[in-house]
Amino acid sequence: MTSTQPPVSSILDDLAECRPWQEDFYRQLHQHPELSHQEHETASAVATRLRDNGFEVTEGIGGTGVVGRLRNGDGPCVLLRADMDALPVEEATGLPYASTATAPNASSGSAEQVPVMHACGHDVHVTCLLGAAELLARHQDAWSGTLITLFQPAEELGDGARRMVDDGLAGVVGAVDVAMAQHVLPGVAGTVGTRAGAVLSAADSMRVTVHGRGAHGSMPQAAVDPVVLAAMIVVRLQGVVSREVAPTNPAVLTVGSIHAGTKSNVIGDHAVLELNVRTYDEQTRSTVLDAIRRIVVAECQASRSPAEPEFELYDRFPPTVNDAEATARVHAAFADHFGENVGELPLQSASEDFSDVPTALGVPYTYWGIGGTDPDTYRAAVVAGTVDSDIPVNHSPYFAPVMQPTLDTGTSALVVAALAWLGR
Ligand code: ZN
Ligand code: ZN
């Protein structure tokens, strides 16, 4: 690592002092993961640490969300965000600090106990942001402005950030100049990747119910057959991405589920289709969603459907489109600090709800990736051409970032990025 900016080097000299508590905190958090909207212990541990470092802390925003604010004179306001939730996945890493936790799977509406694991690395995000908060709090001589640390619930459900926004987040954080977040991903630990423009897809699930008229299977003249209607819709939807979206704009429209009827000689009276849409900008997103509605309505009319179709959108994630200027600023600061360990983050097909925060606040944002795989293991897999089969990805029961240099890198990245605005 090289460090050419004086405030960065003076602050990161203390990284070694934070490392022991950060590693303890990480192991503890990894061993005690909490599902979306159940992040009570995590939130309270976060709030305690922020208070110990002199932050003004607001808890319980949008459920379990926590915001820390450190005012340090005049200057810009930088918001750094970490997500706190874990997944209903049974950990198979075999690590000494592997999770054996279980919890009621409230998001599925059942009281059934499910295994819980930090399989997306949000424990890394929380630990790094707490480390960055401590380092910046210790070195207030090196910067000026306001630092906001935001710990959000339920990223995995796509509604944690929105719930914080709906619960008055804007009033808690005040005027913000830039918002930033990071995610640990498969890749060489110690590296960081930025990307201007689209970085993560928007995701929308849609449940479509179409109505027919039930009758005996031998008397189709008395029926409006919902199976034929649904089949026509499925075929017609295949033309949306291929005929209505520019080939330079990536988009996916999948009909993942279709249910109609009960028996071979009974024509049912309705069909339910479940669709998933992935797009990378708001315009393509509305083009695809509007086309689905138009086609379904038209096919219902063509089939003499006796009632209007119903549409229900759920599991929605906004697109993540990094601000070009903010990204260039962060990239330059990373290049100064990380040298050859900074690169370009490839376009990701996954989705995130982080952008709901800056969008609601009307501020630019940037979101970057950090590698979490043991460098030798990753490089060997690249050479062998086995990255896809051998390197566990997020949400896998084997996903376990190596603690170092991942924690050091994620912590440094947040400090370096914040100082690109706040540094004296
Ligand atoms: Zn995830
Ligand atoms: Zn995640």
- For the chain (424 residues), the mean pLDDT of every run of 10, in chain order, is 64 92 98 97 98 98 98 98 97 97 81 94 98 97 97 96 98 97 97 97 96 96 98 98 95 96 96 96 95 98 98 94 98 97 94 97 98 96 94 96 98 98 93
Q: Can you give the pLDDT at residue 367? A: 98
- Please tell me the number of the ligand nearest to residue 354's CA: 2
Cα distance between residue 102 and residue 89, in whole Å: 9
Distances in Å between the alpha carbon of 198 and those of 23, 241, 327? 33, 18, 11
Are the beta carbons of 310 and 296 closer than 8 angstroms? no
The 10s digit of each residue's pLDDT in 18-31 is 999 999 999 999 99
Q: Can you give the pLDDT at residue 107? A: 67
The CATH architecture one would assign to domain 202-317 is: 2-Layer Sandwich (3.30)
309 Cα: distance to centroid of ligand 2 (angstroms): 34
Cα distance between residue 11 and residue 26, in whole Å: 21
Domain boundaries defined on the chain: 5-198+320-422, 202-317
Question: What is the H or E stretch that residue 156 is in?
Answer: none
The CATH architecture one would assign to domain 5-198+320-422 is: 3-Layer(aba) Sandwich (3.40)
Are the beta carbons of 350 and 394 closer than 8 angstroms? yes
124 Cα: distance to centroid of ligand 2 (angstroms): 10
Token pair listed for 74: 């005049």
Can you say whether the dihedral through the CA atoms of 26, 29, 33, 35 is positive or negative? Answer: negative
The 10s digit of each residue's pLDDT in 349-401 is 899 999 999 999 999 999 999 999 999 999 999 999 999 999 999 999 999 99
Q: Tell me if 5-198+320-422 shares its fold with 202-317.
A: no
46 Cα: distance to centroid of ligand 2 (angstroms): 18
Could you tell me which of 209, 221, 223, 167 has the C-alpha nearest to residue 311?
209
120 Cα: distance to centroid of ligand 1 (angstroms): 5
The 10s digit of each residue's pLDDT in 69-84 is 999 999 999 999 999 9
Can you say whether the dihedral through the CA atoms of 385, 389, 390, 394 is positive or negative? Answer: positive
Q: What's the Rg (C-alpha) of the chain?
A: 24
Length of the chain (residues): 424
Cα distance between residue 60 and residue 330, in whole Å: 30
Distances in Å between the alpha carbon of 351 and those of 14, 133, 256, 339, 356? 34, 26, 18, 28, 12
Q: Can you give the pLDDT at residue 2? A: 46
384 Cα: distance to centroid of ligand 1 (angstroms): 27
Can you say whether the dihedral through the CA atoms of 230, 236, 241, 245 is positive or negative? Answer: negative
Percent of the chain with pLDDT over 70: 98
The 10s digit of each residue's pLDDT in 150-188 is 999 999 999 999 999 999 999 999 999 999 999 999 999
Give the pTM.
0.90
156 Cα: distance to centroid of ligand 2 (angstroms): 7
Token pair listed for 30: 């990894």
Residues measured by CB to lie within 5 Å of ligand 1, the ion: 120
350 Cα: distance to centroid of ligand 1 (angstroms): 8
Maximum Cα–Cα distance for the chain, whole Å? 84
- Please tell me the number of the ligand nearest to residue 124's CA: 2
31 Cα: distance to centroid of ligand 1 (angstroms): 17
251 Cα: distance to centroid of ligand 2 (angstroms): 21
Strands 56-61 and 197-200: unpaired
Q: Can you give the pLDDT at residue 5? A: 62
